[in-house]
Structure 1
Amino acid sequence: MKKELNVLLLVVLMICLSSSMVWAAESTAESNAVAIDTIWTLMAAFLVFFMQAGFAMVESGFTRAKNAGNIIMKNLMDFSLGSLLYWACGFAFMYGAGNAFIGTDGFFLVGGFEHLGLDIPLAAYWIFQAVFAATAATIVSGAMAERTKYSGYIAYSVVITGVIYPIVGHWIWGGGWLSGMVDFAGSTVVHSVGGWAALAGAMVLGPRVGKYNEDGSINAMPGHNLLMASLGVFILWFGWFGFNPGSTVAGTDLSIASIAVTTNLSAAAGATLAMITSWWKYGKADVSMTLNGALAGLVGITAGTAAVNNVGAVLIGALSGILIVYAVEFIDHLHVDDPVGAVAVHGVCGAFGTLMVGFFAIDGGLLYGGGVDLLITQAQGVFATFIWTFTTAYVLFKAIDAVVGLRVTREEELEGLDQTEHGSVSYPDFVPLHWKSVEINKNE
């Protein structure tokens, strides 16, 4: 009897130990998954943050040397001020518990986010979203380059990051009234918001001195450094591998590999077709159009990068590359002066890419037997975002113009914003002492 009892106790002990080992293994696996997802999200956030450098290089390279420092300051402060505003209220408006229009809880990251059901720390999710908010804001910098008063631009940057962008984000990503729309990483939420705000800003500002003649003809104003602009595009392309695959916020989600592929294929197709289109139209393979073609492909695929296959990605990128050439020309012929093509790249191609999800999405796309329901949903989101963003941004820029002024004087513009707004010169070794008088006489 004693022997049988010992055997029974040994069996019970082994069962307990086995259960404990299984529980510990499951707990460790779950803990490892959370750690991997957190690290992935943070690394993706850091890649998107590096895109700020890409935007700074593109905008500086596509504009004149006398304004390079001003471009850098705007990009730096978009992120610096934007981080503070997005922490204080922007994230709450976007992801806090509230209603179908806006979040009303969670200011300063205090409470209000349990409904998100995050598997990663809230801090990791916040920093990933904060770099997206800064991206939307900094898109506008290039379209308003070379003639915007710095104080007026700062006022705009605070409002778009704190209010305008988060509300659109709440509609689509935060459980709002457009939550059925497919915009995986933000062709509309991020890029179209930035593009339509850029359109409003450029319209309120008016064109640069000497851009358009009285007869309506257009004068080219080449940027000072195509190498710098090219570096910026490569940085942005690199950062997009955080922008799109990172939007899974899960390194254990193996779809990040296919998302990286669709992202890359669309960018490559965009650059290729923009090159071919410009070559056919102008007789030369235009460098700036080709660079913007790569960005057009990246912006275009961002909405559907997880919803389309590789063929769909190539087609979206190719069409975006063709579209960008005509969109830049069309906007210029409307006498909306956009020195870097931000409205065309981010506004037009962002809207286009979002609509293309309605055609090319494997699940629900028109070309895959899904009918028109998804396409209608996508169009509704594109239209609502345009109306909200353009209207609020236009009113904002008009208000800024009335209160603090939005545009520098003619003399300040001709001298360059580096000197007049910041008291510095980006290229002092290449600026002659008589530069100001020469520029003014040349443009009179």
Structure 2
Amino acid sequence: MDAIQQLTSGLDTIWVVLTAAMILLMEGGFALLEAGFVRQKNAVSIIMKVFVDIAFGALIFYFVGFGLMYGRDAGGFIGTSGFFMGGDLTHIQLSISHETYWLFQCAFVIAVISIVSGAVAERVNFRAYILYTIAMTSLIYPIAGHWVWAVNGWLGKLGMVDFAGSAVIHALGGFSALAAATIIGPRIGKFSANGSANIVPPSNLPLASVGAFILWFGWFGFNSGSTLSATNSSIGHIAVTTMLAAAAGSATCILFTMMRYRKADPPMVINGALAGLVGITAGCAFVSDVAAILIGAICGIAMVYATELLEARGIDDPVGAFPVHGVSGSIGTLAVGLCAQPNAIKEGTAGLLYGGGFELLGVQALGLAIIGIWGFVLTWGALKVINRITPLRVSRDEEMVGLDVGIHGVPAYSQEEGFIDIGQLKGGK
């Protein structure tokens, strides 16, 4: 390797490690966002699930997930090498090491499971959540990711494009979250006997806002880092489209909720920014600045309607995981087929609005449908199996007292000075 190659490899390694760290910091954003959206008595349970995401997600992806996702291909459907980062990985030809590549992809898989976490907040059994995390990071996400991102993945070979994961990460996580929220059922008291939804006030919107800002920051690593190269000339454009889409999503929600509810709705505004970020993730390198603004705005409005639709159907999603990730991820995936600029993806390819015909849009729609169905069905099946091993949902008493005390034996905030009977909190008789 000559001096130029060594320098390039070194710069790319630094870039990928730093952006992987930015993505990992998003877990702090998820923790604060979800803890702020749920009630005070369930804040610790949110933090504990985030630690499960990181700890179990990283280990299982190292043991199994990376091999299934990026290992040597078997018919375009599954990887067969790379378990424990061993075996044949020579087909992965990058300027960075395989370990560096694993680190970046590990940050992605942790984000996927965190999407589902919010949808089952305040009522999921902690043991069941650990088992589901293992299922998602070892099987559900890696196989879907292989289809699109592996060297010979069958959806990728058909021409599906998903630069940083609107479909592979967000739509998959969103539809998995929808299945989880449906199968576990709503929180006690969320819906009245006549089916009308009751408002469950968030415990700390400033905390949720800080979480959203951290996610917004980390998203620059999420999208720009997916170049896997510090010298890629598109990094600046990717960062700009990311910023514009997020701003458009949030601004649209401010104006839209002012018209619809006569007040700017803070949770909707927070989720509007995230919806714009999710929507631009697939096409951030391929669409124009104006298209990014339109994508963000559409995702913001669609998120509001999707949130209302879920409540009308009796589905309880405390943080809006499906509206933000499932709906916006779907819009962003299809937007590539509509708005990809000529030759931005490859020579001779363009979105429908640029005269590229329906081919790319059709492939995007096919891939989106398959990934969404895969996430929903596999999550449904996994949770049914897990429920036979350990109850999927906490008891009524545990839910009423709160998961912090009922499951973890400690409150998030001390309300008064004095001592706590640890034996009682931890289930002593």
TM-score by length of 1: 0.90
Change (3 A) 1:36 1:224: same
Correspondence 1:176 to 2:153: yes
Separation (CA, whole Å) in 1 of partners of 2:413 and 2:273: 29
**Secondary structure of 2:134's aligned partner:** helix
Instruction: Please name the residue that 1:208 is paired with.
Output: 187
Separation (CA, whole Å) in 2 of partners of 1:120 and 1:222: 47
Separation (CA, whole Å) in 2 of partners of 1:424 and 1:270: 37
**Secondary structure of 2:2's aligned partner:** helix
Q: CA RMSD in A?
A: 1.4
Among 231, 243, 247, the alignment partner of 2:210 is 231
Instruction: Please name the residue that 1:119 is paired with.
Output: 95
Separation (CA, whole Å) in 2 of partners of 1:367 and 1:312: 11
Separation (CA, whole Å) in 1 of partners of 2:237 and 2:25: 22
Instruction: Please name the residue that 2:373 is paired with.
Output: 387
Change (3 A) 1:432 1:281: farther
* 1:321-344 deviations in Å (ceiling 9; x for gaps): 111111111111111100000011
Comparing 247-256 and 421-430, the one that deviates more: 421-430
Instruction: Please name the residue that 2:291 is paired with.
Output: 312
Contact map agreement 2:299 2:327 (CA 8 A) in 1: no
* 1:76-133 deviations in Å (ceiling 9; x for gaps): 1111100000000100000000221110111100132211211111111100000000
Instruction: Please name the residue that 1:155 is paired with.
Output: 131
Instruction: Please name the residue that 2:391 is paired with.
Output: 405
Separation (CA, whole Å) in 1 of partners of 2:194 and 2:415: 37
Separation (CA, whole Å) in 2 of partners of 1:112 and 1:296: 38
Instruction: Please name the residue that 1:165 is paired with.
Output: 141
Separation (CA, whole Å) in 2 of partners of 1:432 and 1:324: 45
**Secondary structure of 2:287's aligned partner:** coil
Percent identity (aligned): 50
Instruction: Please name the residue that 2:346 is paired with.
Output: none
Change (3 A) 1:432 1:263: farther
Correspondence 1:135 to 2:121: no
Instruction: Please name the residue that 2:236 is paired with.
Output: 257
**Secondary structure of 2:415's aligned partner:** helix
Contact map agreement 2:242 2:281 (CA 8 A) in 1: yes
Instruction: Please name the residue that 1:279 is paired with.
Output: 258
TM-score by length of 2: 0.94
After TM superposition, list the pairs within 5 Å mapping 1:48-127 onto structure 2. 48-99=23-74, 100-127=76-103
After TM superposition, list the pairs within 5 Å mapping 1:412-427 onto structure 2. 412-427=398-413
Instruction: Please name the residue that 1:220 is paired with.
Output: 199
Structure 2: 5+ residue runs without aligned partners? 343-349, 420-429
**Secondary structure of 1:167's aligned partner:** helix
Q: State the Cα distance separating 1:276 from its structure 2 match.
A: 1.0
Q: State the Cα distance separating 1:432 from its structure 2 match.
A: 12
Instruction: Please name the residue that 1:441 is paired with.
Output: none
Separation (CA, whole Å) in 2 of partners of 1:147 and 1:71: 11
Separation (CA, whole Å) in 2 of partners of 1:228 and 1:31: 43
Change (3 A) 1:423 1:150: same
Correspondence 1:33 to 2:19: no
* 1:306-331 deviations in Å (ceiling 9; x for gaps): 11010111110111111111111111
Q: State the Cα distance separating 1:292 from its structure 2 match.
A: 0.1
Q: State the Cα distance separating 1:196 from its structure 2 match.
A: 1.1
Structure with more helix by fraction: 1
Counterpart residue type for residue 124 of structure 1: T
Separation (CA, whole Å) in 2 of partners of 1:268 and 1:244: 16
Contact map agreement 2:148 2:160 (CA 8 A) in 1: yes
Counterpart residue type for residue 153 of structure 2: G
Separation (CA, whole Å) in 1 of partners of 2:386 and 2:97: 38
Separation (CA, whole Å) in 1 of partners of 2:388 and 2:206: 38
Comparing 312-321 and 293-302, the one that deviates more: 312-321
Instruction: Please name the residue that 1:268 is paired with.
Output: 247
Contact map agreement 2:125 2:394 (CA 8 A) in 1: yes
Comparing 337-346 and 28-37, the one that deviates more: 28-37
Contact map agreement 1:200 1:397 (CA 8 A) in 2: no
Q: State the Cα distance separating 1:28 from its structure 2 match.
A: 1.6
Structure 1: 5+ residue runs without aligned partners? 1-25, 434-444
**Secondary structure of 2:168's aligned partner:** helix
Separation (CA, whole Å) in 2 of partners of 1:320 and 1:138: 20
Contact map agreement 2:8 2:95 (CA 8 A) in 1: no
Q: State the Cα distance separating 1:269 from its structure 2 match.
A: 0.3
Counterpart residue type for residue 394 of structure 2: V
Contact map agreement 1:270 1:317 (CA 8 A) in 2: yes
* 1:258-280 deviations in Å (ceiling 9; x for gaps): 10000000000000001111111
Counterpart residue type for residue 139 of structure 1: I
Counterpart residue type for residue 61 of structure 2: Y
Larger Rg: 1
Separation (CA, whole Å) in 2 of partners of 1:359 and 1:106: 36
* 1:347-381 deviations in Å (ceiling 9; x for gaps): 11101110111111003101101001000000001
**Secondary structure of 2:117's aligned partner:** helix
Separation (CA, whole Å) in 2 of partners of 1:139 and 1:107: 25
Q: State the Cα distance separating 1:254 from its structure 2 match.
A: 1.8
Runs of 4+ in 1 over 6 A off after TM superposition: 430-433
